[in-house]
Structure 1
Amino acid sequence: MRKVILDVDTGVDDALAIAYATASPEVELLGVTTTYGMAPAECSARNTLLVLEQLKCDVPVFRGAEQPLIRTRQYSGTFHGTDGLGNVVRSEPKRAASGMHAVDFIIEQVRKHGRDLTLVTTAPLTNLALAIQKAPDIVGRIGRVVTMGGAVATPGNVTKFAEANIIIDPHAAQKVFSSELPITLVGLDVTRKTVLRQEEVERWREKNTPCSTFFADFTKYYIQAYKVNHPYLKGCALHDPLAVGIAVHPELVNMVPMYIEVDLEEDALGRTTEDLRRKSPGGPNTNVCMEVDAERFVSRFLSRIDQAFSR
């Protein structure tokens, strides 16, 4: 069983990733840390608590960064709604987030569990960048960082170069990738190949439980946005759940070691690319996922989600 922290900005696919993690017997979910991203920071924390409540999981939640390190980029709400969950939230969670800051929780858990800990990030990398800044020793202690973000050999989804999690806080991302952390990058190169179809979401609705209906409602919004913006996919990409899947089953993907940097120049801001101009010839800093067994992953994801809804 892998000890895991999820670092999220709970929009729709983060919520699906949380459900997948809680239903995976290979995962011991120590906590969920939140930040701004697909919604404001307060919505991200609230959404995370609501999702865990529906899933009947009493996992602690820790609020983190409320803005990027240097510049602010506002999310449009196109794919996740202005509240992060398809504008379907009608209530407040029954419990509150922990009083401990997300950054402090990450540092504490890395020092406690060391190589046994996997951090899965499905949000802008601000919390992790701040943790490195505050406690540089964690870089050499953590077992693995699995990051959903970036687009190495495929177009971005915010600009022609950049993926959303990276461009929202590119300076944090560059700090993380230049830190020598053991990073696996789960980018658009593979996540666009893992697709959730509308008919599967309708099966959730047919279960007619509060949890399955809640998930079906906000995921429907996400799929409708994909129909308008990416009709060729015939569904919505499972970006964040795939990061959880690879944290547990790395054999799902083929990886290429690369020395990744994040472009901070305005004309290509947020681009994740191999740094061929680095002064040091040091080895790769990232394992980049380039191919995925999409059918196998989606099948496993749907099975675990069914288990989550059956609690």
Structure 2
Amino acid sequence: MNVLIDTDVDFDDYMAMLYLLKHPDIKVDGISVTGTGDAHLSHGLRNVSNMLTLTGNPKDLTIPVVKGFNSPLRYSNTFPGSERQAADDHYDAAFPFTNPHQVHMDAIPFLAEYLLSTKEPVTLLCIGGGTTWGNFLDYAEKNRPLASAIQDKVERVVMMGGNLTKEFVEPGAEGNIQPTLEAPPCYTNKVAEWNIFIDPLGAQKIIQSKLNLTLVALNATQQVPITSHFVEALAQIENNSARFLTQVLASDSIAPGIGDYLDFWDPLAASVITNPELITTTSFPIRVEQTLNEENDTSGQILIDETNGTFVEVALSADAEATYINYLNIISGDNVTI
């Protein structure tokens, strides 16, 4: 299966990307990096390129790593500065060596050339918000062959993002802006999830694109917490990828959340690409709230809207034990127990 990844290079993005890179049934054809999420763009590009040294596969070193954008399509929301600094520094975890193939073209021409030339269907994993593909879909509107290629070649989109509150489903999932450590005090939003909150318009463009979209929402990911038991099992795996991830999860900015507020956000979305049975989905007509009210902000909230929404599959539950075992098996390259 051919896969494109769009990432903001947070700790769980590394977990997701390494899962796909090590999966025997997956061929990663390109990784676009957004500068509007956790890592700043220049740091994210360098870190993803160097991450490719972890797999031990020389072919991975030449996977295209391409530049997204430094600003969202709407508003200017950002992660807390301390979190961005930790992501820029790749959580003080070491890469084996510096990837010599650090050529970073812009995302739009890369994606356009790729989709116009590929003969194979491709799955898109969005784990960095909607900015890159929101811009790309805008660009494609002016190019009919490219717009057709997107519809014909992008077989599926799996996007980690969003949540449906108890206003819409039971059990509902509240937003995760406020619980973030050192969340900027100016943010009053209690109903959005970070990937959507960063760029609500970019996310809306992906949702309304009519692509075959599965939204892996907080409703599902909160059922798969990152536990100390999982981290201990990961630490028993003796390869570069597992050692790197173990170091990341042990870093000062990540370790306090183990067993508390950190969930299997992006790695669950990546796992769904190869093992869709890990989640249960329901189709809803959804849209992303765009209006900003700084006193009681609901921008980025996922709304069920029978009139203006677009039907997509939303993951509401997940099998935690099966997710852990599947993930560890792929990272280890063998069968493990947990």
Q: TM-score, normalised by structure 1?
A: 0.86
Name the residue aligned to 2:291.
265
Contact 1:260 1:274 in 2 (8 A): yes
Aligned positions of 1:57-206 closer than 5 A: 57-58=60-61, 59-77=63-81, 82-84=86-88, 87-88=91-92, 93-113=98-118, 116-136=121-141, 137=147, 138-141=149-152, 142-153=154-165, 154-158=173-177, 159-205=189-235
> Residue 9 of structure 1: CA displacement?
0.8
Residue type of the alignment partner of 2:126: T
Q: CA deviation at 1:304?
A: 1.1
Whether the aligned pair in 1 keeps the contact of 2:234 and 2:328 (CA below 8 Å) is: no
Deviation readout 1:273-311 (Å, 9 max, x if unpaired)? 212342xxx8x5311111222211111001111229xxx
Comparing 138-147 with 96-105, greater Cα deviation is found at 96-105
- Deviation of 1:196 (Å): 2.8
The count of residues paired between Structure 1 and Structure 2 equals 298
Q: 136-145 or 31-40: which moved more?
A: 136-145
| TM-fit CA distance, 1:113 | 3.8
1:13–1:198 distance in 2 versus 1, CA, 3 Å: same
Of 54-63 and 144-153, more deviation after overlay is shown by 54-63
Structure 1's unaligned 5+ residue stretches are: none
SS at match of 2:204: helix
Contact 1:4-1:27 at 8 Å conserved across structures? yes
Mapped to 2, the partners of 1:162 and 1:245 lie a distance apart of: 23
What SS is found at the alignment partner of 1:195?
A: coil
1:48-95 Cα deviation digits (max 9, x unpaired): 112211223322211211211132222115667533566315678333
Say whether the 8 Å CA contact 1:79–1:226 is kept in structure 2.
no
Of 94-103 and 47-56, deviating more is 94-103
- Secondary structure in structure 1 of the residue aligned to 2:92: coil
User: Matched residues, percent identical?
Assistant: 26
Letter in 1 for 2:291: E
**Is 2:7–2:34's contact at 8 Å kept on the other side of the alignment?**
yes
Task: Work out the CA distance in 2 between the residues paired with 1:286 and 1:225.
Answer: 34
What is residue 253 of structure 1 aligned with on the other side? 279
Structure 1 residues 85 and 122 mapped into 2: Cα distance closer, same or farther (>3 Å)? farther
Find the aligned partners of 2:8 and 2:33 in 1 and give their Cα distance.
Answer: 5
- Give the structure-2-normalised TM-score: 0.80
Report the residue type matching 1:143 in the other structure.
E
Q: CA deviation at 1:197?
A: 2.3
Query: For 2:242 and 2:43, how far apart are their aligned partners in 1?
Result: 21
Gaps of 5+ in 2: 142-146, 166-172, 178-188
Match of 2:244 in 1: 214
Helix, strand or coil at the partner of 2:214: strand
Q: Structure 1: how far apart are the matches of 2:119 and 2:317?
A: 29
SS in 2 for 1:127: helix
Q: CA deviation at 1:26?
A: 1.8
| Alignment check: 8 A CA contact 2:65 2:104 kept | no
